[in-house]
Structure 1
């Protein structure tokens, strides 16, 4: 024992000094312990005890230097920057005399901080770039896009709050999990862009739970209540309630599937209104497609969509020019809004028609995101006018309105949202873990063209370089 005591004390002192150094030196401490175990100077049990003591010394030193309280166990900074060329093109048959091609250089920047705390709690915030979509004097950052355009003689760009949330994982067992989330958060539901744009971060309360049946099957349940419009002069605020059940299955090493059943319910649709120039709207006016009594007026349909989605993934052990296992994914989705009302007889779009359904089918080869990986994706979409609230769905696919889709005029030109059918194609490659390059092409037209319009097809190409940190 006397022979071992002196080396142990010396080792502990050396490791204590390393613990006060940066993380790279902390990694050196682990390497030193491994070497001493290998040489027989320390047993595995003694080495583990030294590791734990070193970690405690590092935590105490880090908290003393940073000023963080001892209940904060980790602090992470992360984000991404995406540079984009965005081109929108109409042929003369679609645009008529007002045909306009657009060529924009754009960017999206997001940066945030996440603090992990004792007792399974987490808080976080994130800032994002975005354009102001308010028609009044109150700023409203675009809720479904973090893109901003390089224009206006290098004017300074706005920064908005994208996330501000608190999370408590109240249950964390091998078979059961349960988490509460409050604030402005990442979308707690598992949906694609046909239901929610990827940049949409809802505001309210959410609950997520999961049950692992066995090694092959797991069930997940997500629910949320979100604020859409708080009206100072009315008791009828607009809310969104949603519930989702998912079944995830791994049938074998090569086959996996996912199946989801979801329901959404919007309250007080009459308050989901836009506004004329100079007046603050209840919700930002970004997209179009829903039928309204006017361009800034109330919606003619309610929204209680039911969503069924599923996918099957076959994973090959290898594939030419792809590192590692190669996934091939087939996906399909059907949405029905039973609350959709027949369009008004005076509506410029689909008078008398009930347009409350949507279809989305496609496949994806590979998966980008890691060094050397790539993917190819194709989807065909049929998105009727009132299957979903237009201000939440993908902001990138759109068609050309030769004439106004609203009673009273307004809203001509290119418009994203609903009332669309067409093709989505994407190719992406990740030369590094931190960088993904991609090209996306949208070719869409309107399902119901405004009265007097002969064509509505628009092509849109996006070339991206996305850096993450």
Structure 2
């Protein structure tokens, strides 16, 4: 509290005390004489004038009224009251009209001061709390993953390239025992059931001048970009504590924010800025970098929009390679995205949204370089993906030369560049309000995909039964959703049916949906789901996903998820 505030509150406290004194004075009581009353009266009135409770004119009026009443009392011969033991005098009368005026003015000043400083006004909060918003959610999930007969465990289609590339030292491919015992594989034939937890807590703050900032923390089995799920009983088991990760952190500026137009810029780690379905991007993916979006209504119900952004996918370690005196040249990986589209309202109950996007990855594909047999590090190693799921076509990254009696170390990289063209559409029909019918879909094609170019490399997966390469570069999604657009009240419901087809190299598998087919690409199949609100902020959901591989060895999996989610 500042010194000025302290003095102001002392003045208000004095004013309240004087008001209480004035209010308690009986209207019939009168002082003995004006002379006796004047010293204490003057002291009190001077204090009240000094604190701003009353004006000098009001104080003079009070004195004159008191003197008139003293004179009248003396004329009636009434005795004066005995002085107090310490010789001080007291005022025993203030006119009723003055008391009421004092009450009103003091109350007004006290309440104004309290409201301005947020220290005593009822039903108010400090100013900073009005600019900060907390939100979060907790989800419990049962998940069952069921594999039918016919999958091929141990095939190269089931190699966990992500786990392999995370090895600090690659495996010697000339050592058959090492190949048989050290290469990590995905589970493709043993059913699994698990309970999973997701907890997220976010905060956003209004900074004024059209700036906002925010951050969010979330659970997760690891630092995967596509999932914040924590498997219960995981992380070592025995009720071990779980990790919390920084999931979002951003600064946002609304340069223009009107009903018919807008322009905004966001930097940091933030939600997907593009209009999308879960064909290309998992819902949990957070984008690192900078993005700008703009919209402008060109006609009633027609509002074109544009979104552009630049996002670092991988930044070369400062000391790569840490074990070599000669460092590897920087090979940063970037994603550049641009999307243009429009919203359109052709009828009262119809809303349409259309967009075309181009996502261009730079340096995400593997780079083959000459390396020496027996060398544990090589410049091409930095071109392997830092995170992957499954489905993309992989190739060996080292062209080993020299003494072939030494170890033939290898890492794996993506066999194709990714320049993705995406067409996205959604149609909402509200003719059965409050029930909405929504159809949405997306088509994607990797314009950089070329079988002829890929066959020049030492490919490792996605071969057909005859030995020929069978990967592809396109994908599409079709979905129908019926129900409440938002589960806001008890018994609100929504159901959906979708079909997804995503070839091996249509998109980067590390950022694709992590649930369908256990995550990644090279998958096709059906999704059926529904949600039911149990309260305003609590709902349950059930989803069944049936996925099969498109290229390579047979692979199928059925996944069942039952959720309950609470938000605040």
TM-score for the superposition, normalised by structure 2: 0.63
Count matched residues: 389
- Map 1:182-331 → 2, pairs under 5 A: 182-232=267-317, 233-270=328-365, 283-294=385-396, 296-318=411-433, 325-331=434-440
**Residue pair 1:329, 1:363 contacting (<8 A) in 2 also:** yes
Whether the aligned pair in 1 keeps the contact of 2:213 and 2:250 (CA below 8 Å) is: yes
Question: Quick one: distance in 1 between partners of 2:446 and 2:248?
Answer: 29
Answer yes or no: is 1:448 the counterpart of 2:551: yes
Taking the aligned partners of 1:282 and 1:293, their CA distance within structure 2 comes to 10
Decide whether aligned partners of structure 1 residues 234 and 25 sit closer, same or farther in structure 2, where only a CA change above 3 A counts. same
Contact 1:142 1:286 in 2 (8 A): no
CA distance in structure 1 between the aligned counterparts of 2:542 and 2:349, rounded to whole angstroms? 29
Task: Give the C-alpha shift of residue 156 in structure 1.
Answer: 1.1
Correspondence 1:458 to 2:566:
no
Query: What is residue 489 of structure 2 aligned with on the other side?
Result: 371
- CA distance in 1: counterparts of 2:347 and 2:120, whole angstroms: 43
- The equivalent residue for 1:431 is 534
Kindly state the Cα deviation for residue 148 of structure 1 after the two structures are TM-superposed.
0.9
Whole-angstrom CA distance in 2 between matches of 1:381 and 1:272? 31
Match of 2:476 in 1: 359
Contact 1:244-1:260 at 8 Å conserved across structures? yes
Aligned in 2, Cα 1:12/1:220: closer, same or farther, shift over 3 Å? farther
Alignment equivalent of 1:101, drawn from 163, 187, 191: 191
What is the 5 A alignment of 1:52-71?
61-63=126-128
For the Cα contact (< 8 Å) 2:111–2:121, is it kept in 1? no
User: Given the alignment of the two structures, is residue 338 of structure 1 paired with residue 440 of structure 2, yes or no?
Assistant: no
Residues 105 and 168 (structure 1 numbering): CA distance in 2 closer, same or farther, change over 3 Å?
same
Determine which structure has the larger helix proportion and give its number. Answer: 2
Worse-superposed segment, 291-300 or 424-433 = 291-300
Distance in 1 (CA, whole Å) between partners of 2:287 and 2:120 is 38
Look up the SS of the partner of 1:340 in the other structure: coil
Which residue pairs with 1:382 in the alignment? 501
Alpha-carbon contact 2:394-2:461 (below 8 Å) kept: no
Deviation at 1:332, TM superposition (A): 2.1
The unaligned stretches of length 5 or more in structure 1 are 27-57, 67-72, 133-140, 319-324, 399-414
Match of 1:407 in 2: none
Structure 1 position 214, deviation (Å): 3.8
SS at 2:414's partner residue? coil
- Superposed displacement of residue 286, structure 1: 4.3
Q: Is the 8 A contact 1:142 1:284 kept in 2?
A: no
Answer whether contact 2:146 2:190 (CA < 8 A) is retained: yes
Cα contact 2:275–2:424 (8 A) shared by 1: no
Taking a change above 3 Å as real, the CA distance of residues 81 and 8 of structure 1, as seen in their structure-2 partners, is farther
- Contact residue 364 and residue 385 of structure 2 kept, 8 A: no
Question: For each residue in 1:106-142, what CA deviation from the matched residue of structure 2 results, as whole angstroms up to 9, or x when unmatched?
Answer: 011111211111111111111111122xxxxxxxx01
Any idea what SS the aligned residue of 2:131 has? strand
Q: 1:110 aligns with which of 191, 195, 200?
A: 200
User: Conserved in 1, the CA contact under 8 Å of 2:394 and 2:414?
Assistant: yes
Distance in 2 between the 1:240 and 1:332 partners? 23
CA deviations on 1:62-112 (whole Å, 9 max, x unpaired) are 45xx7xxxxxx6011111111111110012233679720110110111112
Structure richer in strand, relative to its length: 1
Counterpart check, 1:158 vs 2:243: yes
Question: C-alpha distance in 2, partners of 1:102/1:281?
Answer: 33
- Residue 268 of structure 1: how far off its partner (Å): 0.5
Change (3 A) 1:306 1:22: farther
Please state whether the residue corresponding to 1:378 is helix, strand or coil.
strand
Which residue of the partner structure matches residue 25 of structure 1?
123
SS of residue paired to 2:193: strand
TM normalised by structure 1 equals 0.76
CA distance in structure 1 between the aligned counterparts of 2:243 and 2:383, rounded to whole angstroms: 19
Q: What SS does the aligned partner of 1:142 have?
A: coil
8 Å CA contact retained: 2:366, 2:415: no
Q: What is residue 57 of structure 2 aligned with on the other side?
A: none
C-alpha distance in 2 between matches for 1:391 and 1:347: 17
- Distance verdict in 2 for CA 1:249–1:96, change over 3 Å: same
